[in-house]
A and B are shown apart, each in its own frame.
Chain A
Amino acid sequence: MVLNGIKLLRQMPQKVAQARLQNRLLIILAIVFFTVPLGAGAYPVTIMIDIGFYCVVTMGLIMIMGLGGQISLGHGAFFGCGAYISAVLTTSYGWSPWAALFFAALVTGAIAGLVGRFMFRLHGLILAGVTLALNLVFFYLVTSMVDITGGAIGFMNIPPITIGGIGSQDLLFNYYFIWIMAFLLLIFSLNLTDSRNGRALRALNTYAGGSEDAAQVLGVNVLRYKVWAFVLSAVYASLAGSAYAHYTRIIEPNTFMIQYSAMVALMAIIGGRSSPWGAFLGAGLIIGLRELLRESVPVLVGGLSGAYELIAYGIILALALLFMPQGLVSVVRRAASKRTKINET
């Protein structure tokens, strides 16, 4: 549990230490995240905004992949759903961006729930294939519904989200908007992970020592939990997608293709699927690396960095799977537990 003095924690020494560390980390990060951009230039703030969008979608993916142990390679579709629903409602129907953001999350969640009910009767690679197909279906739908979505050209002139006159034109507003969203969803995810529902999800995660049979005979409705986790992860992606549409004010279908889904899956694997913190680490590392390559490749070898980016992602993925299959978060966790043990002695 995060940021609360629940009685339970006092009875669980390890949990107390873990929660203290988590709370401290949250406060430090919040301070860093909310003060650093004040003195930074436009470029680093833009990169941080980009990381923020990826971070929210990855966090959602971690809820279904890391917690529930279900593969999804189609989260670009839900990110796109949020973006397009928000864009269409605000631009074509004059909705307020705020109302559109929440309505898009509701609709995307409902779509995920409907699809999930059928999809989660499947397992393993077949399930992964279906999620991939979901992303393709979204792409072809968006490109073919030209009258509504603008087709392959995309959707332009999307109004910005504003609070009291400050809006999407303001880089810092967007920075704070996405990172406040990320921190609120992080707290929500951490609370969920450590609750009855989080335990039920972890219990059926066969990739992390769980057992569906054991969970079922203890009363866990396995299908219902998988679907709910999927809905939740789709809602996260939709919220990020809506925010993205109102930030960039122009969207086009290629942004939400399989490459996007693969990127967030990569971030979840490298950051660590077992904790929502993994989203921060994964998105930070991959986008940081991408920017580093975009800066250095033209200088060092000339030309564009695209191919080198793919090679670098591949190498990092291979290294992560070889040396830290639980992701960067496991390294941080090990260091933190060592520190706790030292403090105890």
Chain B
Amino acid sequence: MKPKLVPPHRRRGKTIAGDYLLEVRGISKSFGRLSVLKGVDFSLARGNILVIIGPNGAGKSTLLKIISGLALPDTGEIYFAGELISNLAPYRIASRGITQLFQDIQLFLSMSVVENVMVGRHRHATTDFMSSGLSLKKARDDEQRVFEAALEKLALVGLEKAAFAAPASLSWGQQKLVGLARALASGAELLLLDEPYSGLVADEVTKLNQLIRALQSQGITIVIVEHLTDILMGIASQVIVFDHGEKIADGTPAEIQRDRRVIDAYLGGEQPGVREVDDQ
């Protein structure tokens, strides 16, 4: 009998053994005739900071969406802590410990800052509709715990005083920090940050860098998609460079800065003292 073919993103319960927290294997994605990602592979070790750089339209943000489940890959598989996740709905992926900070943040504007962060704790509370509506003790205790955890995360990003403000009343940089606090409140092991530095002033960039380092020291693994290579080379453990949907380089920041293909495609032409990684 002919075996039934199951597309990769529909296979359930598949696991792999390995030391990596995140493994991306052969991910491809097209929108109509436009191929956004072409067979992307990489692995990310636990506790590392991976920076993905590349020009606009290189497929970086699409990759983040595929990892968080907001978009399905055409081909390929993604494993998180050894478990296949590319077949899961976004909320299930979030429950495994992955969350995303969007480029445009997407704060919930009808809620206060602290309520936004409280939504981040959603998966850590279990109160159902009836308990909430009847305001049972279980629901009130849950609410108290979620509130305290949210305040703690706001304090971590230095915004506890703005807890009851409306998100729209904050600066763009502050809103980014609220978004980060909300993502942290989810207790994620892997944070996907889509252009977190865009629109920030110098002080805010420094503060965000410090925060990212602090999160790394707490064992959180981070993927950052960015254009600003200078800032990130200092904090990255691993850098991947994309060009037209293809991974053209993968290595430490030092290796990437010496890579001929990267220099040609992204950093811009000849640089003194640079040699190709392949030549080493």
Contacts and interface: CB of A to CB of B under 8 A. Distances in A.
Interface of A: 1-4, 6-8, 11-15, 188-189, 191-192, 195-200, 202-203, 205, 208-211, 213-222, 228, 232, 274
B174 to A, nearest CB: 17
Contact of B164 (A7, A13, A199, A221): A13
A196 B122 contact: yes
Given A192-B132, A196-B143, A220 B119 contact: yes
Contacts of A6: 135, 140, 143-144
B132 A219 contact: no
Given A197-B127, A199-B115, A217-B68, A209 B91 contact: no
Given A218-B122, A218-B186, A213 B146 contact: no
Contact of A1 (B91, B102, B135): B135
B112 interface: yes
Given A6-B143, A191-B134, A232-B129, A216 B90 contact: yes
Please classify the interface of chain B as helix (H, G, I), strand (E, B), loop, or mixed, using the class held by over half of its residues: helix
Contacts of A203: 108, 111, 119
Interface in B100-151: 100, 102, 106-112, 114-115, 118-120, 122-123, 125, 127-129, 132-135, 139-140, 142-144, 146-147, 151
B132 A217 contact: no
A205 B111 CA distance: 11
A198 B106 contact: no
Nearest to B70: A213
A7 B144 CA distance: 7
Determine which residue in B115, B118, B183 has the highest number of CB atoms from chain A within 10 A of its CB, and name it: B115
Contacts of B139: 191, 195-196
B143 A210 contact: no
A274 B151 CA distance: 25
A13 B161 CA distance: 12
B108 A209 contact: yes
A209 B90 CA distance: 20
Nearest to B163: A12
A172 B209 CA distance: 67
Contacts of A215: 108, 119
B99 A202 contact: no
B194 to A, nearest CB: 11
A214 B192 CA distance: 12
Nearest to A219: B123
B94 interface: yes
B210 interface: no
Nearest to B185: A218
A8 B119 contact: no
B109 A220 contact: no
Interface residues of B, number: 47
A221 B108 contact: no
B245 interface: no
A214 B108 contact: yes
B61 to A, nearest CB: 12
A216 B147 contact: no
A196 B118 CA distance: 8
Contacts of A1: 135, 140, 143
A218 B182 contact: yes
B89 interface: yes
Q: Which 8 A-B pairs have the closest CB atoms?
A: A209-B109, A219-B123, A195-B132, A216-B90, A219-B94, A214-B106, A188-B133, A211-B106
Nearest to A2: B135
A199 B111 contact: yes
Nearest to B94: A219
B147 A220 contact: no
Contacts of A208: 109-110
Given A216-B70, A219-B91, A219-B95, A196 B106 contact: no
B69 interface: yes
Contacts of B142: 196
Contacts of B123: 218-219
Nearest to A205: B110
Contact of B133 (A191, A200, A220, A274): A191
A117 to B, nearest CB: 14
Given A196-B142, A216-B94, A220-B91, A202 B108 contact: yes
Contact of A217 (B100, B109, B140): B100
B133 A196 contact: no
Contact of B119 (A188, A200, A274): A200
Contact of B89 (A8, A12, A221): A221
A222 B69 CA distance: 13
A198 B122 CA distance: 11
A213 B127 contact: no
B167 to A, nearest CB: 8
Contacts of B95: 219
Contacts of A4: 135, 140
Contacts of B125: 196
A203 to B, nearest CB: 5
Contacts of B186: 218-219
B110 A274 contact: yes
